[in-house]
Amino acid sequence: METLTLKTTGRTEFLDITREVEKMVSRSAMKDGLVFVFVPHTTAGITINEGADPSVAEDILGVLNRLIPFQGDYRHREGNSAAHIKAGLMGASVQVAVEKGKLVLGTWQAIFFCEFDGPRTRKVLLKIIGA
């Protein structure tokens, strides 16, 4: 198991972690298999989406923030229900195939850590499985 530590700077943000995941896969010397990327936080998530144009991540975040506002008729006493809901929608894990030591992603795809309750120090766990 590998751990990637991130420091987020905003209340909500998407961080492209593709290069960091690639580096960890490269260090593992695995040629073919799978990398399982897991976020062990209830107010953060992970997704794969377009990484070539940063406005795509900004658009997704903007829509999530409009659909699930920070202030609402929430019961959770901690005051971060919106973050929990957004994290649940995005999900806590993704899996990416690895072939010949490289991540198998589409031309425009990137792996994003999704912060919904920042700024914080966060962890992303990677399990690299294969030969």
Q: What is the pLDDT of residue 75?
A: 86
Cα separation, 121 vs 49, whole angstroms? 23
36: containing domain: 2-130
Sequence-separated (6 or more) residues with CB below 8 Å from residue 96: 21, 34, 35, 37, 48, 103, 104, 105, 111
pLDDT along the chain (131 residues), means of 10: 96 97 94 97 98 95 95 87 97 98 97 98 96 70
Amino acid 78: pLDDT: 85
In sequence order, the β-bridge partners of residue 125 are 3, 38
pLDDT at 122: 98
* Number of structural domains found in the chain: 1
| Cβ proximity of 86 and 45 under 8 Å | yes
What CATH number is given to the structural domain containing 44? 2.60.120.460
Query: Tell me, what's the pLDDT at 71?
Result: 87
Between CA 131 and CA 98 the distance in angstroms is 10
Q: How far apart are CA 90 and CA 47, in angstroms?
A: 6
In this structure, what are the phi and psi dihedrals at residue 86, rounded to the nearest 5 degrees?
Answer: -60, -45
